[in-house]
Amino acid sequence: MCGIIGYVGDEAAAPIVYQGLENLEYRGYDSAGIALVNGARATGGSRATGGSRTTGDVAPDVAADGGLTVAKRSGEVSNLTVPDAPDATCGIGHTRWSTHGPPTDANAHPHVDCAESIAVVHNGIIENHETLKAELGDHEFTSQTDTEVVPHLLETELSETAGEDAPDLRTAVERVVDRLEGSYAVCAIHADENRIVAARDGSPLVVGHGEDAAFLASDVTAFLEHTREVTYLEDGDVVDLSADGDVEVFAPSDDAAESLPRRPVDRSVETVEWEADAAEKAGYEHYMRKEIHEQPTALRQTLSGRVDVDRARVDLDVSLPEAFLERVEEVQIVACGTSYYAGRYAARLIESFADVRTTVEIASEYEFGAGRDPDRTLTIAVTQSGETADTLGAIRRADSAGARTLAVTNTLGSSVTRAVDDAVFIRAGPEIGVAATKTFASQVTTLALLAVALGRERGTLSAARARSVLEDLRGLPGAVQQALDAEADVVTAAERYCDEDAFFFLGRDLGVPVALEGALKLKEIAYDHAEGFPAGELKHGPLALVTDRTPVLAVLTEGGAPAETMTNVTEAQTRGADAIGCVSADREFGTLDVAFEVPDVGLLEPLVANVYFQLFAYHVANEKGRAIDKPRNLAKSVTVE
């Protein structure tokens, strides 16, 4: 949800920043923009304004005044003309998912102050922007965004210190961000210095350490081709990146007696294990299809080193205290979207293996209700990005209520990992397509491992049953591969049904979350009306919608009460609907119009059905020529509530 990139070093910044924007486009594609410190004037020193640089070759995107070159444009990053500025070695960029103000050129970031000497990009929401704008008086505003107050506030701060030897952008940023309410990652440059100053509170920001260069971004995928050495910033941090690649981090001071609001801190440098090419398309037309096909590998990574079948044990790199496990009475799962459906799948496994009441709540609806005992509650946040505002809000509410908290996430260093007592990583690798695919399978797998671990430690899951589940988990990557190998059959089905009026997905038990997830995929990338139902509910209302133009897609596998589900499928067929079923290898339902075979992996079979549903959604969307990796109105990382 908005992507930020910054670069300062000794190379031309424009192509690096532009590439970063392309890498970050999954976070928003309403508009994109770049601001560069014009090389000729950026010598450091005095804060005189003027001396603007003409960049007629990139007009009309570019306004070049006050020593900055700014290019911005509504629409996708490819609409943006990369400024031809070989001397500019410091720049910032932004790709936008609109909150305040429609996606126009004027609302695109970066935003500048009146003198066009300061440029700012922002991710998040500044809730008190109206008040701040009123306080700013006669500053000239050109957009409808909340962000635009920031460069003007910086302008005011810097003008107060005019006359000193050098502009102190950092002090100004510190003072300004301390007046902001809401959530932000903001990043600022000034025309007179090759330097970037940024701050975060509630929105992600990570520093990349290059050779004589430094990067700053919302996500490491922005600069992975340049460096894998990173520092994750904490909420409240202000960071100062200088031209030689030096990085200084300042954190709020706990000591009220200290005169400065922040003090320098050491933040650790970590090495990202993802390979740079993991975030590239590798010959696929879309990230989504690549990521669907990566599932066997992702699942092997998820399982790697964690399963000991002989001893019927699981090692998840997190050990919950034995006394807590004995007394735990409720597991709560909080999540959104696809992660919520992964949570619904896992809840059934946790209840069954660990014999503990497990609730799953949409994170934005979650409250820690009265009558619950926090001392006996484990709350699990399931989130691919680790940055979803609704999920962070929910897990923080659980934490304040006193529950023990655990994150199941794909993203090292993400905000959720700092908000919880323990974190487990799903290890799916970077997921760039806006529609979640491989991370769903890895989330359910990780949570299934957790369910086995809880069951074994609580003594509620026998060694024999645990071994059988672990064997099924080990068989899952191969089973998923078999589904992927049948892709040509899914293409045929997608071609046959892509023009239908609506699609209904049916399942029972573990098939329900997969039916819901299947419908979500089709909605978000094909823009078709699709709904998922517990199959038994069809006759209680939705059956009225069924016609010969509404195919039903059903989970008819182990773990999904296949015979009972087939009864409901037949009810739909009787009303004229065609039926597409994902069927366990040892079953046959001769009346299906299309059948996809699911290899025997026990309770994980609905996960294989999900792969067929992902491929179906992908190929229907492809037939319709949809923007599969960047569906309209959506963004991958939803950092606003």
Which residues carry out catalysis?
Answer: 2, 636
Q: Which residue, 235 or 524, has its beta carbon nearer to ligand F6R?
A: 524
Name the one range near ligand F6R by CB under 6 A: 226-234, 323-331, 380-388, 419-427: 380-388
| Interface residue with ligand F6R, options 338, 417, 446, 568 (CB under 6 A) | 338
**CA pair distance 320, 556, nearest whole angstrom:** 36
Least distance between ligand F6R and beta carbon 391 (Å) = 5
Name the one range near ligand F6R by CB under 6 A: 350-358, 384-392, 479-487, 544-552: 384-392
**CA pair distance 556, 565, nearest whole angstrom:** 7
For 554, the 3-state DSSP assignment is strand
**CA pair distance 109, 88, nearest whole angstrom:** 19
By CB under 6 A, residue 615 contacts ligand F6R = no
Name the one range near ligand F6R by CB under 6 A: 85-93, 315-323, 334-342, 394-402: 334-342
**CA pair distance 220, 204, nearest whole angstrom:** 10
Q: Which residue, 172 or 519, has its beta carbon nearer to ligand F6R?
A: 519
Query: What are 240's two structure tokens?
Result: 């100062």
Q: Which residue, 90 or 621, has its beta carbon nearer to ligand F6R?
A: 621
> Shortest CA distance to 243 belongs to which of 48, 88, 112, 50?
88
By CB under 6 A, residue 557 contacts ligand F6R = no
Residue where the block lists tokens 């210095």: 193
Name the one range near ligand F6R by CB under 6 A: 147-155, 253-261, 331-339, 459-467: 331-339
Name the one range near ligand F6R by CB under 6 A: 110-118, 221-229, 332-340, 567-575: 332-340
By CB under 6 A, residue 384 contacts ligand F6R = yes
Least distance between ligand F6R and beta carbon 186 (Å) = 22
| Interface residue with ligand F6R, options 55, 203, 385, 405 (CB under 6 A) | 385
By CB under 6 A, residue 203 contacts ligand F6R = no
| Interface residue with ligand F6R, options 183, 383, 417, 445 (CB under 6 A) | 383
**CA pair distance 43, 64, nearest whole angstrom:** 17
**CA pair distance 376, 408, nearest whole angstrom:** 19
| Interface residue with ligand F6R, options 123, 145, 295, 339 (CB under 6 A) | 339
Name the one range near ligand F6R by CB under 6 A: 126-134, 324-332, 377-385, 544-552: 377-385
Least distance between ligand F6R and beta carbon 442 (Å) = 11
Number of residues near ligand F6R (by CB under 6 A) = 15
Q: Is 299 left (phi over 0), alpha (psi -120 to 50) or beta?
A: alpha
CB 132 within 8 A of CB 153: yes
**CA pair distance 497, 520, nearest whole angstrom:** 17
Which residues inside 417-476 make contact with ligand F6R, applying CB under 6 A? 435-436
**CA pair distance 290, 584, nearest whole angstrom:** 25
Q: Which residue, 301 or 411, has its beta carbon nearer to ligand F6R?
A: 411
| Interface residue with ligand F6R, options 337, 559, 562, 606 (CB under 6 A) | 337
> Shortest CA distance to 355 belongs to which of 266, 465, 264, 274?
465
The 290-329 contact track toward ligand F6R, x by CB under 6 A, reads: ----------------------------------------
Q: Which residue, 301 or 637, has its beta carbon nearer to ligand F6R?
A: 637
By CB under 6 A, residue 336 contacts ligand F6R = yes
For 126, the 3-state DSSP assignment is strand
Residue where the block lists tokens 């133009």: 549
Q: Which residue, 170 or 626, has its beta carbon nearer to ligand F6R?
A: 626
Alpha helices in 355-412 (DSSP H): 389-401
How does strand 182-190 pair with strand 118-126? antiparallel
Q: Which residue, 38 or 338, has its beta carbon nearer to ligand F6R?
A: 338
Q: Which residue of the chain is nearest ligand F6R when measured via CB?
A: 337
**CA pair distance 364, 637, nearest whole angstrom:** 15
Number of helices (H), then strands (E), in the chain: 16, 28
> Shortest CA distance to 98 belongs to which of 110, 108, 84?
108
**CA pair distance 372, 466, nearest whole angstrom:** 30
**CA pair distance 299, 441, nearest whole angstrom:** 7
Least distance between ligand F6R and beta carbon 398 (Å) = 15
Residue where the block lists tokens 């030897």: 165
By CB under 6 A, residue 158 contacts ligand F6R = no
The 521-550 contact track toward ligand F6R, x by CB under 6 A, reads: ---x--------------------------
Least distance between ligand F6R and beta carbon 434 (Å) = 6
Name the one range near ligand F6R by CB under 6 A: 385-393, 453-461, 568-576, 585-593: 385-393
Least distance between ligand F6R and beta carbon 445 (Å) = 15
According to DSSP, residue 109 is labeled S
Which residues inside 68-107 make contact with ligand F6R, applying CB under 6 A? none
For 157, the 3-state DSSP assignment is helix
Q: Which residue, 487 or 629, has its beta carbon nearer to ligand F6R?
A: 629
Q: Which residue, 38 or 384, has its beta carbon nearer to ligand F6R?
A: 384
| Interface residue with ligand F6R, options 52, 388, 442, 565 (CB under 6 A) | 388
Query: What are 365's two structure tokens?
Result: 């609806």
| Interface residue with ligand F6R, options 391, 417, 568, 639 (CB under 6 A) | 391
Name the one range near ligand F6R by CB under 6 A: 119-127, 301-309, 383-391, 587-595: 383-391
**CA pair distance 44, 242, nearest whole angstrom:** 11
Q: Which residue, 242 or 410, has its beta carbon nearer to ligand F6R?
A: 410
Bridge partners of 37, per DSSP, are 68
**CA pair distance 51, 38, nearest whole angstrom:** 10
**CA pair distance 473, 601, nearest whole angstrom:** 7
Degrees (nearest 5) of the Cα angle 152, 154, 155? 60
Name the one range near ligand F6R by CB under 6 A: 8-16, 187-195, 248-256, 336-344: 336-344
CB 431 within 8 A of CB 438: yes
For residue 13, how far is the Cα from the chain centroid? 26
Least distance between ligand F6R and beta carbon 388 (Å) = 3
Q: Which residue, 518 or 599, has its beta carbon nearer to ligand F6R?
A: 518
> Shortest CA distance to 540 belongs to which of 571, 562, 573, 563?
571
- 605-623 vs 487-497: helix axis angle to the nearest 10? 50
By CB under 6 A, residue 638 contacts ligand F6R = yes
Least distance between ligand F6R and beta carbon 222 (Å) = 17
Say how many residues make up the chain: 641
Q: Which residue, 584 or 610, has its beta carbon nearer to ligand F6R?
A: 610
Within 10 angstroms of residue 44's Cβ, the number of other Cβ atoms is 12
Binding residues vs ligand F6R (CB under 6 A): 336-339, 383-385, 388, 391, 435-436, 520, 524, 637-638
